Structure 1
Amino acid sequence: MEKTSVNHFFSDRVIIFDQTFSDRNTALKSVADQLLKAGAVVPTFEKAIIAREQTYPTGLQLNDGIGVAIPHTDADQVIHDQIGFVSLKTPVEFRQMASATDVVSVNYLFVLALKTAHQQLDMLQKLMGLFADDAEMTAFRKIKTADDFIHFMTEQGVL
């Protein structure tokens, strides 16, 4: 049986490192598929998250050229709470949050599948706090395993 690290929000089945995708939608489809296989979302999650990202972009440009995106969609697409994480070998373009035209080269995706708006807001605030800390993001960039990822996120109070 496959070893799986699990906590309330993260499972190593949906923590993926060093991936390459041709574009934003391909990356989102891949994470949505992993979340579906993990039983966390309904089959329409993929379409819903791509549509929401088109309307409400989630790309953020951080210091040192790091780009992150935090795609999420409505709670009716979620069976149980889960956050998909992907680090990208080659950045993928996402639109900047609150912009119709600005583009961010994204290195990290945090795809939120959370059952309540309160949880989404709480997680967004925790992630934004992490992203604002240059020293922590320098340490974050060195993480290469699911266990180290979960340990780091727990230490930072994100979990």
Structure 2
Amino acid sequence: MTPVGGLELLPGCALHRVAARDREHLLTLMGTAVVENGHGHPSLVEALLERERRFPTGLPTPVPSAIPHTDAVHVLHSGLAVATLEEPVAFGRMGGTGEELDAQVVVLLCITRPDEQVGALQLVLARLGDAAPVQAVVDHADPSTFGEVVRAWLSGQGSAS
């Protein structure tokens, strides 16, 4: 199977069991990983934080999640960054309801072409909707193999146990 929407895990952007104080801290860590690994402009981090403040991305998927993203102008290489969390982090629920949910997995969309965003979002949602493989990613204990597990999950290759 192919990766999500043709998007693969960006090298250096699989963050295993992150200890984040809050969503801003988590998004700063994820955005910094994208930038430091050469996949985004330095402006990506602040743009990501600002967009999340205006347009929350928390989702009530079987394993609560969030799909933050920013405008293509801040991205150098299309792909995904994925973080699991030591403790869930509160994200505003998508759709501006004012509700928050405790995300356990966060998938950062990095898209260079705006016309790819909707399709990529739909495919990430499909992966997040399959509870057992997502839970296996969240529960994966070995940081040395975490990137491989995330790549397998994103490509739809069964459970990530």
Q: Same fold (TM over 0.5)?
A: yes
Contact 1:59–1:95 (8 Å) recurs in 2: yes
Q: Is the 8 A contact 2:34 2:40 kept in 1?
A: yes
Alignment of 1:61-72 (within 5 A): 61-63=60-62, 66-72=63-69
Residue of structure 2 equivalent to 1:3 = none
1:44-95 CA-to-partner distances (Å, cap 9, x unmatched) read 11111111111111000123xx211100011001111131111001011110
The match for 2:155 is 154
Letter in 2 for 1:152: W
Amino acid at match of 2:64: G
**Match in the other structure for 1:103:** 100
Alpha-carbon separation, structure 1, partners of 2:7 and 2:121 = 16
SS at structure 1 position matched to 2:77: coil
Distance 1:61 1:76 in 2: 29
Is 1:122 equivalent to 2:119 in the alignment? yes
Deviation (angstroms), 1:12: 4.4
Task: Give the corresponding residue for 2:3.
Answer: none
Moved more, 113-122 or 45-54: 113-122
Q: Quote how far apart the aligned CAs of 1:99 are.
A: 2.2
| Displacement after TM superposition at 1:156 (Å) | 4.9
For 1:4, the equivalent position in structure 2 comes to: none
Displacement of 1:124 in angstroms is 0.8
CA distance in 2, matches of 1:104, 1:36: 27
User: Residue 22 of structure 1 corresponds to which residue in structure 2?
Assistant: 21
TM-score (normalised: structure 1): 0.85
- Distance in structure 1 (CA, Å) of the matches to 2:69 and 2:157: 21
Structure 1 Cα separation of the partners of residues 134 and 14 of structure 2 = 17
Deviation at residue 8 of structure 1 after TM alignment: 5.3
1:100 Cα deviation from its structure 2 partner: 4.0
Match of 2:48 in 1: 49
The aligned amino acid for 2:148 is D
